[in-house]
Amino acid sequence: MPKHGRNLRDIASSDADLGSRINGIWRIAGELQWAQRGSTTQGREHCERVEENALLLLKEAKSRSVCTPTVAFILSAAAALHDVGKIVLGTSAPKPLPDHGAEGRRRILESAIEIPFPDGEFQNIIADVVGVHANARFSSIPAGYRQCNNQIVWPRSLAAVFRLADMLDATRARTPLAYCKFRGALFENHREVWLARGSITAWECDEDRRQVLLQARPPSPEAARAVETLVKLTNADLHKDHKRALKSLRFGRTTIHRPPIECHLPTKVCLRQPDRRKVKELAGQFPRGYVVHDRTIVVKRPANDQFAVEETFYITATQPINQLTILAAAAPVSVSQLLVDNEPTAPKILGRTVEVPRSFKENMLTKVEMRYEATERVLRIDPKLAVFNSATLTLRGLLDSTTDLSALDFTANGPRTPTAAIRDVRSEDGELIIEYRISAADPARVYEFKW
């Protein structure tokens, strides 16, 4: 079963020939990407983020086996080449057509740009994926599967994933540094676009993979309105054919004699916002001034007697706070990374307490990602600080097939029956995933989970 690497090129490189060719394609594309014209940033960084988004969407599809080296090669090459239709080729060449995707497809098929494709079938599929990323005319791609590199691929599904990956590169990372610094004093012609993109910090799919949830921190009411407008425009751009393709994605197995893997991805984009009514109800229970949502904890196999722990959660401040105090699930020996809305932050550590020197606005939803090393084989979860919904704990490489899953449970050092409940325990691609829910009704207890 293929494993996800750092990016699609890593996965394609597990096939030696595809690996050398995809690296060659990116080298050639790198000489062209600086010349890609448009009203927004179109260079190499954009192409690499689209490549990254495509891999993240395949992960979100909850089926890791779909990303074979062949699929990775097609999507990575499409990411490198998808905006070549925006390049003016020579002083006498006609300007690119308004539909830069269709123009890019023409250039790829007519070899206007010399690219080392493995064969004509790869060239045709990559051209089709590039061709519809701007106009969403998926019906222009022949229905059904094709055989490529002795594997089955479904071009319409790959094109649907790729177009969504390109649409989702509308975050702060794609906003010019000068705009972020001067807050719109420049780029007046595209002020609303930059206000919106400069406010969006991240995206992810919801639990049912029906919606893409955008995380935004607009600095002003004008920026908040711009973000709402961008969300509406993005949903309007999710055309009917694109939605149909996203709802019924297919990925081939090795031969036509095995049924395809079927899954789906979101067909709607929304802003991730806190439930303000619930936050208000809970505000009195959390004297520190914030509520935590959707906590995810991943514990990895130890190295040198230290476990690697990754925590991700969302914070809603119930009042303006100048410093965030987090109780880590395990006592950190060291914190290797702390991101607040994707921005690196230097923490202070004291036992299980991690202090984040950042200010947080009231009712503002903020994403926190923390990676640290710990030595204890126990996690402690303190409801005094937070309410948890759809929380998950993943033990990666710590348990094996002989583990008695029914024996895994929470304990609580309180006078009454624990209200913690394990909702689901399952094994997925060698990982043990535990979904749990904790009630904040009795904040006197501290829950423990041992393995």
Residues 143 and 222 grouped into a single domain:
yes
Residues 225 and 250 grouped into a single domain:
yes
Domain contains 338: yes
Q: What residues are paired with 307 via a beta bridge?
A: 374
Residues 164 and 227 grouped into a single domain:
yes
Residues 111 and 18 grouped into a single domain:
yes
| Mean pLDDT of the region 52-67 | 81
Q: Which of 230, 263, 296 is the last residue of a domain?
A: 263
Query: Could you tell me the two tokens for 252?
Result: 């081939």
Residues 257 and 284 grouped into a single domain:
no
Task: Give the pLDDT confidence score for residue 451 in this predicted structure.
Answer: 57
Domain contains 1: no
Domain contains 268: no
Question: Whole-angstrom Cα distance, residue 399 to residue 379?
Answer: 16
Domain contains 292: yes
Most confident of 97-101, 190-194, 263-267, 372-376: 263-267
Residue 206 has pLDDT above 60, yes or no: yes
Domain contains 435: yes
Task: Give the pLDDT confidence score for residue 413 in this predicted structure.
Answer: 47
**Among all chains, which residue has been given the structure tokens 């993240």?**
56
Domain contains 116: yes
Residues 38 and 149 grouped into a single domain:
yes
The more confident residue out of 371 and 394 is 371
Residues 259 and 301 grouped into a single domain:
no
Residue 376 has pLDDT above 60, yes or no: yes
Query: Could you tell me the two tokens for 432?
Result: 């043990």
Return left, alpha or beta for 407; rule: phi > 0 is left, psi -120 to 50 is alpha, else beta. alpha
Q: For residue 132, give its domain range.
A: 8-263
Q: What is the CATH number of the domain that holds 200?
A: 1.10.3210.10
Residues 54 and 144 grouped into a single domain:
yes
Q: Which of 229, 263, 297 is the last residue of a domain?
A: 263
User: How many CB atoms are closer than 10 A to CB 285?
Assistant: 16
Lowest mean pLDDT among 1-15, 87-101, 125-139: 87-101
Residue 50: closest CA among 206, 174, 208 = 174
Residues 233 and 280 grouped into a single domain:
no
Domain contains 324: yes
Report the percent of the chain where pLDDT is more than 70: 68
User: How many CB atoms are closer than 10 A to CB 406?
Assistant: 8
Residues 84 and 148 grouped into a single domain:
yes
Domain contains 270: no
Task: Give the pLDDT confidence score for residue 76 in this predicted structure.
Answer: 95
Residues 388 and 240 grouped into a single domain:
no
Q: Which of 219, 240, 263 is the last residue of a domain?
A: 263
Residues 280 and 246 grouped into a single domain:
no
Q: What torsion, rounded to 10 degrees, do the Cα atoms 126, 131, 135, 136 define?
A: -30
Q: Is 425 helix (H, G, I), strand (E, B) or coil?
A: strand
The residues, any chain, with a CB within 8 Å of residue 33's CB and separated by 6 or more, are 42, 43, 44, 47, 80, 83
What angle do helix axes 69-81 and 155-167 make, rounded to 10 degrees? 50
**pLDDT 10s digits, 302-344:** 667 788 888 888 887 777 888 887 778 888 888 888 888 878 8
Return left, alpha or beta for 29; rule: phi > 0 is left, psi -120 to 50 is alpha, else beta. alpha
Total structural domains within the chain: 2
* Confidence label for 394 from pLDDT (cuts 50, 70 and 90): low
Q: What is the CATH number of the domain that holds 299?
A: 2.60.40
| Mean pLDDT of the region 100-116 | 83
Question: Whole-angstrom Cα distance, residue 124 to residue 1?
Answer: 27
| Mean pLDDT of the region 371-389 | 67
